[in-house]
Chain A
Amino acid sequence: MPNKNNLFTDAMSDAFVQSMQKDKNVLIMGEGVTDPKAIFNTTRQALKKFGPQRVIETPVSENAMTGIQIGMSLLGKKAIFIHARVDFSLLAFDQLINNASKWHFMYGGTMNIPIVIRLIIGRGWGQGPQHSQSLESVFSHFPGLKVVVPSTAHDCKGLMISSIFDKNPVVFIEHRWLHNYSSNYSKKFYKISLNDSIGLKKKGKDLTILSSSIMLIESLKAEKILKKFGISLEILDLRVLRPLNLKKLFTSLNKTKNLLFVDNGWKSFGVGSEIFANILEKKINLKNAPVRLACKDFPTPSSHYLNKDYYVTVKDICVEACKILSVKKSTQKKIITECDKLLLKVPHDLPDLNFKGPF
């Protein structure tokens, strides 16, 4: 069992409670924030401590509620609005994109919109086409928004606190499958800068793997397996997509000269496209052509029979890493056998909680 008090969701809850303690203008809003499930247990403590005046149940009116959140922020309130699935936030695109993202700019820099939109990506158990989209690249297209995609409990807390106290609209996207992973984080109030896009999760020398959100787990699993075969991966976690600061990636690539990017969503016009364009523009010299791994370029099918090969797994990462590094066929076979063993442990439509880090 994971350590009960160090879950990703505990870190989120901590970030809320400590921020609300610090500033009485911080509020939580959304459908279900006061219900018995408390958004995967992340709003329960805040509700207990601050009551329904500050943890506010709302009607199911995504677009208006986002506009209302903007209006409240003009009078000093800092509201975190939660959509239990990313997909529903598309109903609020008018207010988020036409208003929140442009407000500071279009009013000549005299007003700002300090709001957080927290979105949860679903996956597995047949959630299908409209409950499991990874839309972070879409949000990252718009100037004025900040886009955060945390992977670990430590990062979740520090980045959420920074997002709440940032002066700009922040879209905070977490993957549901991260919720029950446990890792150490400080119980104190701390921030992680939103200008620090990349977290170095594992040092290595042969190949850089850049991924974000739940794909960090797959990348770390691959790192463990390949290490046994003398292949050293450097694992970078892309946790802030906008503003995008790729310095740590460039430093890493100057060392490994090889890149595999693992996307959480679709390949076309995705996060990887932006990363690769930056590498080209910076004239970073690579030994081998960089590779993108991503979800299949079609919506997520619901049936577990149909979505078996939909998401990138540890095996896909290992196979691609071997190809890039021209690993001997006989070694590749052994690596694939290891991956298959791992994949058999848990059904593909459930999170693999056997992985305990280290992160």
Chain B
Amino acid sequence: MIKGKNIYMSNLLGLARIRIIEEEIAKEYYKQEMRCPIHLSIGQEAVPVGVSKSLNFSDYIVSTHRCHAHYIAKGGSIQKLVSELYGKEDGACKGIGGSMHLYDKSINHLSSIPIVAGSIPIGVGIGYALKLKNKKNVSVVYFGDAATEEGVFFESLHFAALKKLPVIFVCEDNKYSVYTSINARQGNRNLKKIVESLNIKFIKPLNNNVHDIEKKALQARSYAISKGPVFIYSNTYRYLEHCGPNNDDDLKYRPKEEINYWLKKDPISIEIQRLKKIKRFNSNEYLEFCNSVKQEIITSFINAKKSKPFSLLKLSKLEYAK
């Protein structure tokens, strides 16, 4: 969580931090030194920042292939992220996992899994263990719209509801699975009804509105601990291609009007407008913060380039835990 000089700014700084880090990674990517796929979170920052803000430090999260924002918002180390992209030993997974497996045990981000819906039961299992241990914490499970089409999605929600687990399911619907639109995949089925039919509370905060997402996530958290699973569903939009550093709007798989609509709903602009309205926006502090993040990420690039890769000899010894 970002501690600004004024507490009103903290969500905005959280959004900006992710945006800047992702943009700088995109800029640096063409050099082909980060030789792994990247699924950037630009445009989708509001949900992870709002949700993370509502959590206690000791709450758990699990994530997907598009995990950078979840990881950063929970407080993951930027150096470990960047070094992982460069494939170095000081990366989050020693360069073994790559960008789609970010995790940081020290902040209770226990896994990211790129198989669609693959992390959903893992998060439920964490929730079950929390319940069995009588801990007053939650397990947050992030996933995208396509994950709700998988069988294991239903199985996992079913079990969480059956055992009334302290799990918050967070669905970020960016409308596309790679290039395929949600309409082609889901028709006009009603996800809310599916979720509610399992006796899971369904919450839909305002789109890309970090302030509202934080508020709703706080309610979700206390509900999850006292009563059982909650489902936060939020529409959002990715600005760049599914995988890679570029804009791919020339492929025309997303309608122009839709793109323009979402660019006007940018999470950072929405939050700045809100702060301006309540007269809490401090542009100097904002710019100063943005510069410091830029410095941080550039330093991380330099460090990552200098670090060593993990030893090939030690690699085969990792097959089993001893």
Contacts and interface: CB of A to CB of B under 8 A. Distances in A.
A65 B320 contact: no
A114 B120 CA distance: 19
Contact of B115 (A77, A94, A107): A94
B52 to A, nearest CB: 19
Contacts of B111: 74, 103, 107
Interface residues of A, number: 40
Contacts of A67: 118-122, 124-125, 152, 156
Given A106-B97, A167-B321, A167-B322, A75 B118 contact: no
Contacts of B278: none
B320 A75 contact: no
B159 A168 contact: no
Among A98, A105, A110, A146, residue most surrounded by chain B Cβ atoms (within 10 Å): A105
Given A106-B96, A143-B319, A74 B110 contact: yes
Contacts of B159: 58-59, 61, 64-65, 68
A51 interface: no
Nearest to A64: B155
A109 B18 CA distance: 28
Contact of A64 (B96, B121, B320): B121
Interface stretch (B129-137, B209-217, B285-293): B129-137
B64 to A, nearest CB: 13
Given A63-B151, A67-B122, A99-B118, A104 B318 contact: yes
Contact of B129 (A59, A71, A167): A71
A110 B122 CA distance: 17
B228 interface: no
Contact of A98 (B115, B120, B128): B115
A95 B155 CA distance: 13
Interface string B145-165: 000000110011011001000
Given A61-B155, A108-B96, A68 B121 contact: yes
B281 to A, nearest CB: 40
Interface string B98-124: 000101010000110101001111111
A120 to B, nearest CB: 22
B113 A59 contact: no
Contact of A72 (B101, B125, B158): B125
Contact of B113 (A68, A99, A105, A143): A99
A72 B62 CA distance: 13
A101 B151 CA distance: 21
A284 interface: no
Contact of B158 (A61, A146, A168): A61
B94 interface: yes
B121 A144 contact: no
B40 interface: no
A132 interface: no
A299 B278 CA distance: 71
Given A67-B121, A104-B320, A111 B105 contact: yes
Among A69, A99, A114, A167, residue most surrounded by chain B Cβ atoms (within 10 Å): A99
Among A71, A103, A105, A243, residue most surrounded by chain B Cβ atoms (within 10 Å): A71
A112 B321 contact: yes
Interface of B: 62, 91-97, 101, 103, 105, 110-111, 113, 115, 118-130, 132-133, 139, 151-152, 155-156, 158-159, 162, 310, 318-322
Sort A-B residue pairs by CB-CB distance and give the 4 closest, nearest first.
Answer: A71-B125, A67-B121, A64-B155, A112-B321
10 contacts: A53-B132, A59-B162, A64-B152, A65-B121, A68-B156, A75-B133, A95-B121, A104-B320, A112-B321, A168-B321
Given A69-B125, A104-B319, 5 more contacts: A64-B159, A67-B152, A68-B121, A75-B133, A108-B318
Interface of A: 53, 58-59, 61, 63-77, 94-95, 98-99, 103-112, 114, 143-144, 146, 167-168, 243
